[in-house]
Structures are given as structure tokens and as C-alpha cells.
Amino acid sequence: MERPFFYVETSLLNGRSFETLNHLNEITAWWLAHVADVRELRQFGKTPLQLHQEELPHLIPLPAQPYDVWPVIYRVVNVDRLISYGRNGYSVPWRYIGSTLPVRVTETEVIIYSPQVEEVARHALLPATATGQRSVHKEHCPSEDARHRQAQLEERFVELGEAGRRFLEGLLRTQRYGKDQAQRVLALLGSYTRGDLIAALERAARYGAYSHAAVERILSVQAQPKSTLESLAEHERRHLPPWLDEEPVSPRPTSDYQPLCDQEPTDHAEPTDPSDDAPAGGAASEGP
């Protein structure tokens, strides 16, 4: 007696255990080749392999590259230059502290991109059983050259305008570990909007409160933490083409188009020959 169709399919998994995904794929390939594809289908009287050969001339070729179905998530870079995924940390270049970055997670890797969607870091995916581990690349750490590190900090704070420049100058002048505190200030961009942070830096510089703690206190009083969606929207607004800030072209009033409706219609038909109306066989004769 022939086994039911569903029984043959479920028999692949029934009572079996698989060590890895590759092991499951190997067993599935064997099952397809020796069971499923060579079994005659009663409603067609042919096997799946025979039906596939008939359909083959009508199939379009597969794409040159496989479809990318790996998930893309967004993560904020913390003060330790890490993004978090699966209860573990993965490093990125320190200049992205405070930024919200897209992260693509594959079966074996964690790939991190800049806001311009350029790859900035690639790590082997830590085991699912790992917790609290870090994957850190040495080149992502701040430069050991003090001058180079300061130049990199100045570049980031200049992006925050005059308030950022003044605050960093005061911070490095008055604090022993000013560079470390500067990194922590930049990390606040992950929690607060750019405008709120600039306002806090202006207030801190006005009162000579050059420290990360002072900026954090100001933000806790006069600002609200932002959501991830607000972070993404804020970044996109900063990269919109500058011509979008120009005066928009206003629509014309409908009265401007009214003359087009009032014009006399133009007859584009070709003129006819008067002789076309004459009787056949000669010119029209005059009456008596």
C-alpha cells in the first residue's frame, strides 16, 4: 500500500535530530534526490523530476547574485565604541560614538555601516550562548598619539558648531581627563537630539561648567531623550540636498490657465477643392 503524501514528507523530520544546519541540508538533499523527486505523483502520472524537465524551457534564469535576506537593525554606538547585539558588543571606529548605525547580521558575521551605508566594521558573530563578550578591533580604538586624538575630537565637536568648539576647548583646558570626557559627551548624541546637545553645550560654556556631568545634568532638566526613529530622522535631515532649503516654487493660480480654455478652436482640416463638388463628367452648367 502506498504511503500517504504527508507521511513521506514528515518522515524526513520524524524521530530525527540534526547537529547543524548543514547536517539538516545534507539529509534534505538526500531525501529529495532519493524519495521526493523520484516518486510518481498519482494526479500527473509523472515524477517531479520529469515535470521539471517539461517546465525547464519556460523558466527564467536565476539571478546572478543570491537575494540578501539577512536582517538589518539599527544600533547606537556607546561611549566604549561598541554596538550591542545578542547581549554582546562589537566595536566600530570611535569617531562614530553617539551615532545610530545600520547593522546587518548574517549567519556568521555582524557587518556595521556608516550613516552613508559604507561598511565601517565587520566581526565574526559571537555564539548565541555567549553573554557579555566583546569583539574589538584594535584599529577602532582612539589614536595613541595625543595630538592626533585631539584633532579627531576637534573634528567631531566642530560639527556641533561654535558651541561645540568652545566647550571642547574649555573641557581640554580645565579637565585632567578631558579627552575621555569629550568622548562621553559625544555619546550623549545617542540619547538626545543634536539641537538639545548644542543648547546644553552653550549653557555649560556660558557658566564655565566644562564637564560631562554638567552637560548631562543640563540635558536631564531641559531635554527629553529621543527615540530611535527620531535619531534616524534627524540624521537624514542633515544629509538632505541643500537645495531643499531654498524657497520653493509656488504653484500658479488657475486663472493663469483660463486663456487657454477661451481660445477659439483651430480647424486643422485640409481645405477642400471646390471642383470636388462638381458633377462627374465636367464643370457645373449654369441654369437658363
Query: H or E element: which one contains 154?
Result: helix 146-158
**pLDDT of 22-78, one tens digit each?**
888 888 899 899 988 999 999 999 999 999 999 999 999 888 888 888 889 999 899
The pLDDT confidence band at residue 286, using thresholds 50, 70 and 90, is very low
Look at residue 58 in the predicted model and tell me its pLDDT. Answer: 92
C-beta neighbour count of 101 within 10 angstroms: 20
Is the confidence at residue 268, as pLDDT, over 80? no
pTM value is 0.56
Distance CA(94)–CA(141), nearest Å, equals 6
The backbone torsions φ and ψ at residue 115, rounded to the nearest 5 degrees and listed phi first, read -60, -25
Bigger pLDDT: 283 or 35? Answer: 35
Cβ atoms of 161 and 152 closer than 8 Å: no
- Per domain, the residue ranges of the chain are 5-58, 72-140, 146-238
The pLDDT confidence band at residue 250, using thresholds 50, 70 and 90, is confident
Cβ atoms of 103 and 75 closer than 8 Å: yes
**pLDDT of 126-154, one tens digit each?**
998 999 999 999 888 877 778 888 888 89
Arithmetic mean of pLDDT, 171-184: 92
Look at residue 145 in the predicted model and tell me its pLDDT. Answer: 78
Q: List beta partners, residue 101.
A: 75
Distance CA(215)–CA(192), nearest Å, equals 11
